[in-house]
Amino acid sequence: MSDTKSIDYAPQGNTANPSVKKLSWVTTVGYGSGDFGFNLYFAGLNLYLLYYYTDVLNIDPAIAGLIIMLPVIWDGVSDPLMGWIVTRTRSRFGKFRPYILFSAPFMGLSFVGMFAAPVWFPDHVIVACLITHMIFRTAYTVASVPYSSLAAALTHNSQERGTMAGFRMMAAMTGGIVTAASMLELASYFGDGDMRQGFVQVAIVYGLLSSVMMVIIFLTTSEEVSLASAKTVTNRQTLSFLRHNRAFWILCCASFVGVIGSAMGSKSIVYYINYYAGHPEGLSNVLSIGILGAGIGIPIWTLVARHLSKRWVWVIGASSASLLNLVLFFFDVKAVATLSALAFCNGVMGGAVAVMFWSMLPDTVEFGQWRSGVRDDGIVFGLSQLISKAGSGLGVGLIGLLLSAIGYTAGADQSAETLQGIRASAFLIPAAASAFSALIIVFYPLDALRHSRIVRVLQRRSLSTRQRNSSSN
């Protein structure tokens, strides 16, 4: 481990690593486009599932929040388990790609089941919602953890990871825009007045589209593991890897705080526009424009990150998003046009955090390997998703409890106290969370130059190991 003290004194040179194979556009776009499929599911759940439970199925908001929170927490708990499994997987197709392919139909069927089961079992709506949501979250974990982990196995170049994360986030935002703009309208169209049946039909369409995207990921990618150990990682080595990985923990703490605020804001905005602003017809437009802003901002932030530290791009984006949410809270905005414009700006700033997280996370794999001598891709992505989903689950649970506490009644005129509570959860809480997230990420220890030095150190170690093994044979 003699290299660990010399990293900051390594020759600086070019930050790009010349020995790393450059990714093809087919791989970059193919991998990135997969998040279109994942986000059809994620955005559908994130934007409309609570609404489906409270306003379509007429479930009490507190119970609806728990129905969402418990599977999300289970999802988070199962993520590191899936990370542990994929790290120890060996197949001719790699560690990660087989899970993405084979889980595709199960994700699609369970997503449909989430909306269909309460219709099929009207006397057991709550049980049907809870079980099907739990099944879907399990299937989603089996696919999403390997998908996220695959990013670290495609290339070890930090800038290329940034580009790949940019494509991934643009595809995700496209899926989000499609969902935000069309899910309610398609449900109304397909259901012909019966929103329950309409949501089932939309779920079938989304399930088919997403399954196709999973196949594309499998066909367009191949795993590059030149810095990874060929040996199976032991549980003790995994603990050592995590214990020494300060970059990973700082990144996840910042993400956890931000996700809580984002979850509360994204759930609350539906109720804010419907009841506080009084423009339910403008809901899809505001949501779509906000996601469009993120989609436009992502390539801009990806380019900025080539000249500015990823950490500071995060700080700028999160701080700006915090200020915009404060503007929305204090200036009592109700007009759809104004809400749309500010949602667009908020999306642009929020896009910085989204793309930087997925660009920074693979870099923490090499940081942990450099500090501990062990590489464990799967546990990084699995545990990061546990932390993220715990934040999301906590945020959703808090929204459900808050709606119940402030006296929210679906479809009714809301009291002044209820409206103010909705307003605070939509903007004030996300503003505080974004500011705190920006403060935490300041302490993130990596930039492109330091990461490239770490990769060179790891390459020297790998070469030295191969030479020793060759001489001993």
- Domain CATH number, residue 356: 1.20.1250.20
In a domain, residue 134? The reply is: yes
pLDDT computed for residue 3 by the predictor: 40
From CA 244, how far away is CA 358, in angstroms rounded? 20
From CA 13, how far away is CA 249, in angstroms rounded? 29
Task: Work out the angle at residue 105's Cα, subtended by the Cα atoms of residues 100 and 108, and round it to the nearest 5 degrees.
Answer: 105
In a domain, residue 289? The reply is: yes
Structural domain boundaries, residue 315: 29-223+236-460
**Token reading at 337:** 């046009």
In a domain, residue 189? The reply is: yes
User: How does pLDDT run across 151-171, given as a tens digit for each residue?
Assistant: 777 877 777 777 887 788 788
- Tell which residue, 270, 295, 298, 271, has the closest CA to residue 284: 270
In a domain, residue 216? The reply is: yes
From CA 342, how far away is CA 377, in angstroms rounded? 38
Q: Where are the alpha helices (DSSP H) in 221-335?
A: 235-243, 246-271, 283-304, 310-330
In a domain, residue 4? The reply is: no
Q: Is 304:313 a contact under the CB 8 Å cutoff?
A: yes
From CA 210, how far away is CA 390, in angstroms rounded? 24
Residues of the chain with pLDDT under 50: 1-20, 226-230
pLDDT computed for residue 388 by the predictor: 81
Other beta carbons less than 10 A from residue 84's beta carbon: 18
pLDDT computed for residue 173 by the predictor: 78
In a domain, residue 405? The reply is: yes
Number of domains into which the chain is organized: 1
pLDDT computed for residue 16 by the predictor: 42
Q: How far apart are the first and last CA of the chain?
A: 24
Q: Is 242:248 a contact under the CB 8 Å cutoff?
A: yes
pLDDT computed for residue 347 by the predictor: 86
In a domain, residue 173? The reply is: yes
In a domain, residue 340? The reply is: yes
From CA 68, how far away is CA 45, in angstroms rounded? 9
